Structure 1
Amino acid sequence: MAELAKSIGFSKSYIYKFFESKQAIGEVICANRLEMIMAAVLSAVADAPSASEKLRRLFRALTEAGSELFFHDRKLYDIAAVASREKWPSTERYAERLLKLIESILVEGRQAGEFERKTPLDEATYAIYMVMCPFINPVQLQFNLETAPTAAVLLSSLILRSLAPD
Structure 2
Amino acid sequence: MKNASTHPVSARGPVDHEVRDQVVAAATEHFSRYGYEKTTVSDLAKAIGFSKAYIYKFFESKQAIGEMICANCLREIEAEVRVAIAETDLPPEKLRRMFKAITQASLRLFTQDRKLYEIAASAATERWQVVQTYEEHIQKMLEEILLAGRQTGDFERKTPLDETALAIYLVMRPYLNPLLLQHSYGFNPEAPMHLSSLVLRSLSP
Does the alignment reach a TM-score above 0.5?
A: yes
The AA in structure 2 aligned to 1:134 is P
Do structure 1's residue 3 and structure 2's residue 30 form an aligned pair?
yes
- 2:130 counterpart of 1:90: yes
Q: Which runs of 5+ in 2 are unaligned?
A: 1-26, 32-42
Task: Name the aligned partner's letter for residue 116 of structure 1.
Answer: E
Total equivalences in the alignment = 163
Tell whether the 8 Å contact from 1:51 to 1:105 is kept in structure 2 after alignment. yes
Instruction: Return the letter of the residue paired with 1:77.
Output: Y
- Name the residue aligned to 1:73: 113
- SS state at 2:196 partner: helix
Q: What does 1:1-166 align with in structure 2 at a 5 Å threshold?
A: 1=27, 3=30, 10-11=48-49, 13=51, 16-17=55-56, 18-165=58-205
Structure 1 unmatched ranges of 5 or more? none
Deviation string, structure 1 residues 65-121 (Cα, Å, up to 9, x no partner): 110001111111110011011110000100110010000000000000000001111
Query: Helix, strand or coil: the match of 2:185?
Result: coil
Deviations 1:41-76 (A, max 9, x none): 000100213000000000001100110001111111
Matched position secondary structure for 2:158: coil
- Give the Cα separation in 2 of the matches to 1:136 and 1:148: 13
Q: Give the structure with higher Rg (CA).
A: 2
Tell me by how many angstroms 1:12 deviates.
7.1
Contact residue 135 and residue 148 of structure 1 kept, 8 A: no
Give TM-score, length-normalised by structure 2: 0.75
Please tell me the root mean square deviation across aligned C-alpha atoms, in Å: 1.8
Give the aligned residue type for 1:16.
I
Query: Residue 38 of structure 2 corresponds to which residue in structure 1?
Result: none
Structure 2 counterpart of 1:153, one-letter code:
M
Which amino acid in structure 2 is aligned with residue 99 of structure 1?
A: Q
TM-score of the superposed pair, with normalisation by structure 1? 0.92
